[in-house]
Amino acid sequence: MSFDPSTFWEQLSSPVYLQGALIAALVALGSLVLAVAIGLVMALLKRSQSKVALASANTYLWFFRAMPSMLLLVICWNALPQLFPLFRGEWYTPFVAAILALGVSEAAYVAEMLRSALMAVDDGQRLAARALGMTPIQAFFKVVVPQATRIAIPSLGNELVALLKLTAIASVISLQELMRVATIGVQATFRYAEYYAVAIIYYLVIVSLIMLAQSVLEKRFRWTSQQARARATVKAKEGVGL
């Protein structure tokens, strides 16, 4: 059986593939947002002086690093509705379950990325902000976060790409993402090369867009970080002069 170009081009422009690619991209993006939110909390707990906070963060990281993503996925889809009535509503779809499972799982890795990014910011920046009268929260969000974000963007970009590929396992809970669309087509026609080639094209396009967005964000936050550092330095010097 030879490669059929007509089948390839027909599927490449198919709305079913486009929808599957969009679902995969949205699941990856939603999972990353959830992972960053949880990971930031874990990163801050890891830097806390409280033994309870530190133990809580270490327990979370230990547990979810040991948990296979596919196992967590089927637990979120099958076990949570069994245990908690909240997850039995119509709102709890495979799409939501996939974001929840992948986000919670990857937060264990994102936490270390964010912790290392926060540690890379010189403590002098935070102290200078405090000397200007900023509260600890203001200093964190206005001075530390922009600089830490610039450091974390490359790692988070790689994490988003990894999450995009992980969305393929969501086919086990019947999520109609890109890989499941290709698999359904293969099962119906046995045209492996054509259907999987289309999936490859879509993955390459999505990853290319992620890399482009990462490059734009790196340039933007590099400039924002430099501006924040310059303002803090100038105000500190003015404060000393006074």
Map out the domains of the chain with their CATH numbers: 5-241 (1.10.3720.10)
Residue with tokens 């986000």: 103
Which pLDDT does position 63 carry in this prediction?
Answer: 96
Q: Of 197, 210, 198, which Cα lies nearest the Cα of 164? A: 210
Run of H or E residues at 230: helix 192-241
**How confident is the model at residue 132, as a pLDDT?**
79
Q: Which distant-in-sequence residues (6+ apart) come within 8 Å of 188 by Cβ?
A: none
Best CA proximity match to 131, nearest among 5, 218, 240: 240
pLDDT reported for residue 242: 46
Q: What is the model's pLDDT at position 225?
A: 55
User: pTM for this one?
Assistant: 0.88
- In the chain the first and final C-alpha atoms are separated, in Å, by 82
Amino acid 119 reads: M
d(CA 160, CA 120): 22
Residue 129, pLDDT score: 82
DSSP per residue, 86-124? GGGSTT--HHHHHHHHHHHHHHHHHHHHHHHHHHHS-HH
pLDDT of residue 235: 57
Residues of the chain with pLDDT under 50: 240, 242
Helix axes 5-12, 192-241, angle to 10 degrees: 40
Contact 8, 197 (CB under 8 A): yes
Gap between the Cα atoms of 180 and 172, Å rounded:
9
For 142, how many CA atoms within 13 A lie in the half-sphere containing its CB? 15
> Could you tell me how far CA 122 lies from the centroid of its own chain?
25
What gap in Å lies between CA 29 and CA 25, rounded to an integer? Answer: 6
